[in-house]
């Protein structure tokens, strides 16, 4: 705590649990054995809050041992963005929108379970994500945490059935690729595949199309296009970008969103604040993007 002015959640939980067990043990062995003792009389809580003052501040650990991997900051930013979208949903109370954020049950189910547990842990007490101005000691609510109804949760949770695997004599794949040319630019898109459980092909767009803009590339961005079980994966190892989905279009949309997010994020950061790897990715993006057309 002294070095970082912070306390890891697991350490706080263990500290509290150990203190609780110590108090229970004292109550068990140091109180008269001939008297009726209710152990619940000795449960402890975090106190010291005045009305409206319970404003804990959470942050990613600054400890170096929790910053492993070359893309740790990009990954944290990605999780921040996803968490922000979920608390926006909580603010509206329309939890049905989660199915738009996570159409795949294998991802949606655990996220719904955890979000349901978190937002309902406040009971009927009003709670919000806030901005806290430490200088003026001013609290500004940003996102209200609305109750997550059990019926809505039930609708969002989908049963995942395991399909018995069939034995195939080969593990080959054939893909149909649509090649189109417009204004001198060639676009390649896989429109159909025939394969077993897993296959690998190449995906090489020269235009990255998002909802708000088109990235016109100087040359095709060669990526690995895979299907494993029921999921499609598009991966650019050079840029460290991965898109996934239950369909080819979903995977392509996921990939373009990640491309757009990483480009927008890295271009706002000074090179001195980036790791060597992220600085390299930023430079590659600058080199391969010919122009950006806003929609």
Residue range 12-65, pLDDT digits in tens? 888 888 878 887 777 777 777 777 777 778 888 877 666 666 778 888 888 777
For residue 223, give the H/E element and its range.
Answer: strand 223-228
Residue ending a domain, choose from 122, 156, 190: 156
- 115 belongs to a structural domain: yes
For residue 22, give the H/E element and its range.
Answer: helix 9-30
Q: What is the pTM of this model?
A: 0.49
- 143 belongs to a structural domain: yes
Range of the domain at 116: 69-156
Q: CA geometry: angle at 229 spanning 228 and 233, to 5°? A: 35
Residue ending a domain, choose from 100, 126, 156: 156
Asked whether residue 152 falls in the same domain as residue 180, the answer is: no
Asked whether residue 93 falls in the same domain as residue 129, the answer is: yes
Asked whether residue 182 falls in the same domain as residue 269, the answer is: yes
Residue ending a domain, choose from 97, 121, 156: 156
Residue 168: is its pLDDT beyond 60? no
The domain total for the chain is: 2
- 221 belongs to a structural domain: yes
For residue 201, give the H/E element and its range.
Answer: strand 198-203
- 141 belongs to a structural domain: yes
- 287 belongs to a structural domain: yes
Residue 175: is its pLDDT beyond 60? no
Asked whether residue 235 falls in the same domain as residue 139, the answer is: no
Asked whether residue 96 falls in the same domain as residue 124, the answer is: yes
For the segment 55-113, what is each residue's pLDDT rounded down to a tens digit? Answer: 788 888 887 777 777 777 888 888 888 888 999 999 999 999 999 988 888 888 888 99
- 139 belongs to a structural domain: yes
- 274 belongs to a structural domain: yes
pLDDT at residue 167 in the model: 46
- 167 belongs to a structural domain: no
Distances (CA, A) of 227 to 81, 121, 156, 231, 246: 26, 39, 26, 6, 9
For the segment 223-276, what is each residue's pLDDT rounded down to a tens digit? Answer: 888 877 677 888 888 888 888 888 888 889 999 999 999 999 898 888 888 888
Asked whether residue 201 falls in the same domain as residue 272, the answer is: yes
**Nearest to 77, CA basis, from 247, 274, 256, 255:** 274
């Amino acid at each position: 705590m002294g070095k970082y002015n912070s306390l890891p959640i697991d350490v706080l939980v263990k500290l509290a649990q150990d203190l609780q067990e110590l108090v229970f043990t004292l109550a068990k062995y140091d109180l008269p054995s001939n008297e009726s003792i209710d152990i619940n009389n000795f449960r402890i809580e975090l106190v010291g809050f005045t009305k409206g003052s319970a404003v804990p501040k959470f942050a990613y650990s600054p400890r170096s041992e929790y910053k492993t991997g070359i893309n740790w900051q990009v990954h944290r930013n990605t999780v921040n963005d996803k968490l922000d979208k979920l608390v926006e949903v909580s603010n509206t109370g329309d939890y049905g929108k989660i199915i738009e954020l996570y159409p795949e049950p294998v991802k949606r189910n655990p996220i719904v379970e955890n979000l349901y547990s978190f937002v309902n842990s406040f009971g009927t007490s009003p709670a919000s994500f806030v901005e806290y101005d430490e200088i003026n000691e001013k609290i500004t609510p940003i996102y209200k945490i609305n109750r997550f109804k059990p019926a809505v949760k039930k609708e969002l949770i989908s049963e995942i059935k395991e399909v018995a695997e069939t034995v195939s004599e080969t593990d080959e794949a054939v893909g149909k690729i649509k090649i189109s040319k417009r204004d001198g630019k060639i676009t390649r898109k896989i429109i159909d595949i025939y394969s077993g459980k897993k296959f690998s092909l190449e995906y090489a767009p020269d235009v990255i199309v998002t909802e708000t803009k088109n990235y016109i590339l100087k040359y095709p961005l060669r990526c690995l296009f895979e299907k494993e079980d029921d999921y499609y994966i598009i991966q650019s190892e050079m840029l460290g970008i991965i898109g996934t989905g239950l369909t080819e279009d979903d995977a392509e949309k996921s990939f373009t969103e990640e491309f757009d997010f990483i480009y927008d994020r890295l271009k706002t950061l000074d090179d001195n604040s980036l790791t060597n790897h992220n600085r390299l990715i930023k430079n590659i993006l600058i080199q391969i993007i010919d122009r950006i057309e806003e929609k």
